[in-house]
Amino acid sequence: MPLPDDYLIYPARRHGMDHDRYSWSHLFDRKPIVWPNGARIALWVMPAVQWFPLDMTGKPFRAPGSLTMPFPDFRHYTNRDYGNRVGIYRILEVLQERNIPASVAVNGILAERYPLMLADLVSAGMEIVGHGLDMEHVHHSGLSREEESHLVGHTLRLLREASGQPVTGWLSPGRAQSYATPDILAEHGIAYACDWANDDMPYAMKTESGPIFAMPNAYETDDRTVLMDFHHPEDSWVQQLKDRFDVLYREAEQYGGRVMSIPLHAWVSGVPYRVSYVREALDYILGHDAVWPATGAQILAAFREQSDA
């Protein structure tokens, strides 16, 4: 007996997602993007400066890198704070030597605790990106909409007033979000967020206030992830960055521009024995033709000029 004509018809058999924030999309079928001057790769370096309060509670969960010893945990507190006092300046020197503009993720409270550091970043031409209030205040669905909106608004007021910049980029502490975070960020004038690590190019996310863009801020080659969580040696981390770049560089020749993001933590990569590896990775990438060093805002502007979003 032959099968009925509708036997293989299944109404849910389609490309789709389990949410409506964005549509399913195949990276290699998208319209090619051409970066300025025909560049294949947009090099996006994004250091983070973070403040971990000495009296952290770790509730409802600890952000990566949080203090773990009984109060007062001076061992971990001072190690993390090294990035704000020393490490970020070491990274900044490397970037300036190579004329690389960068986006620096900054906890809002640092505008009050380290105003001179923030002023130095602005003077160096760095884009300031909101990074939450501090590393204790993680975003999660246990917060009310009002509580989370207050956190975002307070953070952005501190950074915008201190930097004089519009601050249109966002990286949540620990990359954590609630279901409402994209809507709240868009309400507060954020154009792009860096928490979702599921693409190699920007893409539009739907919010109640119009689109906000997810930027491809790499997670698995993040310095803290590789060096502190995976316990890989520094030369392995650099090789992973080179390998990532090589693949994106080859793909870009056929499929259009790609974003090579390098997330750094000032308290991780800014220590003396690691900063040379940052130099090595950047020099390798810049040793190739058609590489465009840019901030997140610059990359998004070039992308939006050519995309339909």
pLDDT at 13: 67
How far is it, in rounded angstroms, from Cα 167 to Cα 160?
A: 6
20-34, 110-124, 231-245, range with the lowest pLDDT: 20-34
The SS3 assignment for 205 reads: strand
How far is it, in rounded angstroms, from Cα 303 to Cα 300?
A: 5
pLDDT in tens, 233-270: 999 999 999 999 999 999 999 999 999 999 999 999 99
What percent of the chain clears pLDDT 70, i.e. is strictly above it? 98
Domain residue spans of the chain: 31-54+67-306
Inter-CA distances, 125 with 56, 172, 246, Å? 32, 22, 28
Q: Does pLDDT of 281 surpass 70? A: yes
| Ramachandran region, residue 231 (left: φ > 0; alpha: ψ -120 to 50; beta: rest) | left
pLDDT at 273: 97
Superfamily of domain covering 31-54+67-306: Glycoside hydrolase/deacetylase (3.20.20.370)
Determine the Cα angle at 31 with ends 30 and 37, to 5°. Answer: 130
The whole-number average pLDDT for the span 113-125 is 98
- Local confidence band at 9 (pLDDT 50, 70, 90 cut-offs): confident
pLDDT at 309: 64
Q: Which two tokens stand for residue 180?
A: 């409402």
pLDDT at 17: 75
Q: Does pLDDT of 184 surpass 80? A: yes
pLDDT at 6: 77
- Local confidence band at 12 (pLDDT 50, 70, 90 cut-offs): low
Number of other CB atoms surrounding residue 255 within 10 Å: 18
- Local confidence band at 208 (pLDDT 50, 70, 90 cut-offs): very high
